Amino acid sequence: MSSRSMRGREVVVSVKELFKGFDAGRIQVLKDVTLEIAKGEVVALWGASGSGKTTLLHMMGGLDTPDSGTVWVGGLNAAEERDRLALRRQKVGFVFQLHNLIPDLSVRENCLVTSIATGGDSKQFESRFEELAQELGFDHRQDRRIQDLSGGERQRVALCRALMHRPDVILADEPTGSLDEKSGERVFELLTGLAKKEGTTVVMATHERRFADACDRIFHVRDGRVSEIGEG
């Protein structure tokens, strides 16, 4: 895909006429979805549970393939097998509702798992980890095991893991969904703050309107259809 711009900014996520169904097409989860997201934007996919937000994020992250339509992220075609691994290694970072950290690894080890996958310079990853741990406020707990951390701390570690390889896009699936109000707000602030600072695009699925309103743009996801409902 050639580099395109949107309001003077480079488009990093481009979804066009996307359809996705399950159970041999009997359940249509995404219907004719088209959207574009520019570099550095923080956008919300806002909608109720089961509306198709997670499936759309999975498509953008190359975790699933569309039935039809195209999904381009950071210049890579998320529908193509050959691009999907590179997409996950270089272009996107995931944050899940449940942190999905590996229980018996330490905070540091969980974050450095990315360095094994990419085979990158371990010293660079170490210093990146130190930098992020400090920014996210768990630098004093980096050798703790995951089970020793609170829910908010775990989500901050998950955020760190997602940012380790300096992705173009953070795909966050209800990152505040399992946290109390205060912790949720803190994680949201850190996510959007770091993304703005590093110029990383954030696509966040949420059912909470208050978080959606705090984003640059809001896409309403309803019954598999996506429509932009305005700026946050």
Partner 1 sequence: MKFTKLIVINLTRHRVRALLGAAGIAFGVAAMLTVLSIVLGAIGMFERILSNDSHYLVFERNVSDLFFSSVPEDATRSISEMENVDTAYPMLFGIVSSDDTPVITCFGIADNDPRLDDAEWIAGDRSRFGQEENTIYLGLRAAEFAEVEVGEEVPIGKDILTVGGILKLENGFENGGVFMPLKLAQEFFHKEGFSSIIAVKLKEVSKGDVFKEEIEAEYPDLMALENEEFSSSYSQFKILSATAWAVGICAFLLGGMGVANAMLMSVFGRIREIAVLRVCGFSKAQVGAMIVGESLLLAFFGALLGFGIGYFALRVMQDLPQLNGYIKPVLDPWMLVGVGMVAFVTSVGGSCYPAWRAMKIQPAEALRYE
| Position 128 contacts partner 1 (CB under 8 A) | no
Nearer to partner 1, 18 or 38 (CB): 18
| Position 186 contacts partner 1 (CB under 8 A) | no
- Exposure string for 137-156, b = 16+ CB within 10 A, e = fewer: ebeebbeebbeebeebbbbb
Using the contact rule CB under 8 A, the part of the chain among 44-52, 60-68, 134-142, 215-223 near partner 1 is 60-68
Nearer to partner 1, 131 or 189 (CB): 131
| Position 105 contacts partner 1 (CB under 8 A) | yes
CA-based nearest residue to 143, from 155, 125, 157:
157
Q: What single-letter amino acid sits at 32?
A: D
Measured in residues, the chain has a length of: 232
Backbone angles phi, psi at 92, to 5 degrees: -125, 155
Of these, 19, 40, 67, 113, which contacts partner 1 (CB under 8 A)? 113
Q: Minimal distance in Å, beta carbon 6 to partner 1? A: 27
Strand segments, DSSP code E, in the chain are: 5-6, 9-22, 27-38, 42-46, 68-73, 76-77, 92-95, 169-173, 201-206, 217-222, 225-231
Rounded to the nearest 10 degrees, the angle between the axes of helix 181-198 and helix 122-136 is 130
Of these, 11, 15, 52, 61, which contacts partner 1 (CB under 8 A)? 61
**Based on C-alpha coordinates, what's the Rg of the chain?**
17
| Position 104 contacts partner 1 (CB under 8 A) | yes
Using the contact rule CB under 8 A, the part of the chain among 6-14, 69-77, 88-96, 130-138 near partner 1 is 88-96
| Position 6 contacts partner 1 (CB under 8 A) | no
Distance of CA 168 to the CA centre of its chain: 10
| Position 122 contacts partner 1 (CB under 8 A) | yes
Q: Minimal distance in Å, beta carbon 214 to partner 1? A: 24
Helix (H) or strand (E) holding 225: strand 225-231
| Position 98 contacts partner 1 (CB under 8 A) | yes
Q: Which two tokens stand for residue 171?
A: 């795909």
- Contact residues toward partner 1 (CB under 8 A) are 54, 58, 61, 63-64, 85, 88-89, 94, 96-98, 100-105, 108-109, 112-118, 122, 161, 165
